[in-house]
Structure 1
Amino acid sequence: WGMRPQAGSPLVQQRITDGIDARLQALGWRQAPDGQVTLAAHIITQQRQTLDTFYTGTGMGGWGWRGGWGGGMGMGTAQTTVRTYDVGTLVVDMFDTSTQQAIWRGTASGTVPSSPERVNAAVEAGLTKMFTGFPPGPAPAK
């Protein structure tokens, strides 16, 4: 590891690092002090908002016979609720250790769960999506 992910929680950092290590080991990769590949992971968190508006209305229509009398009345209200949530993005880069050339980048994004119980599932789902199709095939011939 050249740079481990820095998250708000050391537990989340460890879950991400362990999840990446486990996936690479399952593919036959192993850690070595002077390995050929260096990993760098970054976590970006952004706060987003959504607006939900609910409209209500009441009204009365005209009355009378053959247009003799009439009238009307209407009233409506709108209530808007602002919902704030965090979106997290994990970026994992692999570099050739000797040349420092990038050889692979994986990304995963999702809504950051508000409960600690759901963080594990979110990390696992993100890493599974990120490593689908890894390792990449050879570079196209020029």
Structure 2
Amino acid sequence: MRNLCRNLLGAAALVSLAACSTTPRPSFSTEAAPSVDLAQYTTYSWAFPRPGGGNPFVYERVQKAMDASLAQAGYRQVAEGQGDMELAFTLGARDKVDVTNWGPVGAYYPGYGMNYRYGWAYQYNQVDVRNVTEGSMALDVFDAETDRPIWHGIAEARIGSTDSPSDALIQSAVQGLVDRFAAASGK
């Protein structure tokens, strides 16, 4: 009985630690061309194999993660210009000001709470202002024959101020985009 309790407590601790993950979760938005059957596309190549600007090491990590996720979803990479579809991705970051107004705090009755005085205490607003950096990863899919866009997806998440996002964040964003594309194509 003692071992069972110890095992249950250990499992609960592991679940609690997993829930406290510090990797931000991206939010996703997608759009597909309404008249295109995405299920017909099975092979791909990169439209821009070497994107310019930005950190080339991050681009390389993202492209490798995309290739692995697409292969896992059943898509096959072929030589440039030989696929059913061409893929392109872009990375970006922007600084935002995040303002949270917690609303009025007070009034306090004398003898209770903060700012005790004779009579009522004053009201004040609690406002938090933070500068945050939001990163985005967009995946665009084009029909290789017509060069028309057939699918667009974007992942956005708060990132640190470093120039290089974590591998866990890259994998989460890539996997989310590829999963949504595969679901739209019925895979």
| Structure 2 length-normalised TM | 0.55
Label 1:59 to 1:7 Cα distance change in 2 as closer, same or farther (>3 A): farther
| 1:109 corresponding residue in structure 2 | 156
In 2, the alpha carbon distance for the partners of 1:5 and 1:102 equals 19
**The residue matched to 1:58 in structure 2 has which SS?**
coil
In 2, the alpha carbon distance for the partners of 1:116 and 1:41 equals 18
Q: Is this contact kept in 2: 1:113–1:122, CA < 8 A?
A: no
Q: Is this contact kept in 1: 2:87–2:139, CA < 8 A?
A: yes
Gaps of 5+ in 2: 1-45, 107-113
| 1:89 corresponding residue in structure 2 | 136
Question: Relative to total residues, which structure has the larger strand share, 1 or 2?
Answer: 1
Q: Is this contact kept in 1: 2:151–2:181, CA < 8 A?
A: no
Cα shift at 1:81: 4.6
**The residue matched to 1:131 in structure 2 has which SS?**
helix
Are 1:15 and 2:61 matched, yes or no? yes
Correspondence for 2:77 among 13, 20, 30: 30
In 2, the alpha carbon distance for the partners of 1:99 and 1:19 equals 27
**The residue matched to 1:59 in structure 2 has which SS?**
coil
> In terms of mean alpha carbon deviation, does 14-23 or 31-40 score higher?
31-40
The count of residues paired between Structure 1 and Structure 2 equals 128
| Structure 1 length-normalised TM | 0.70
Structure number with greater Rg is 1
Q: Deviations over 1:61-80 (max 9, x none)?
A: 3xxxxxxxxxx474677675
Q: Is this contact kept in 2: 1:51–1:83, CA < 8 A?
A: yes
Are 1:59 and 2:116 matched, yes or no? yes
| 1:132 corresponding residue in structure 2 | 179
The root-mean-square deviation of aligned C-alpha atoms, in Å, is 3.0
Question: Relative to total residues, which structure has the larger helix share, 1 or 2?
Answer: 2
In 2, the alpha carbon distance for the partners of 1:121 and 1:8 equals 19
**The residue matched to 2:129 in structure 1 has which SS?**
strand
> In terms of mean alpha carbon deviation, does 106-115 or 49-58 score higher?
49-58
Aligned ranges for residues 113-124 of structure 1 at < 5 Å? 113-114=160-161, 119-124=166-171
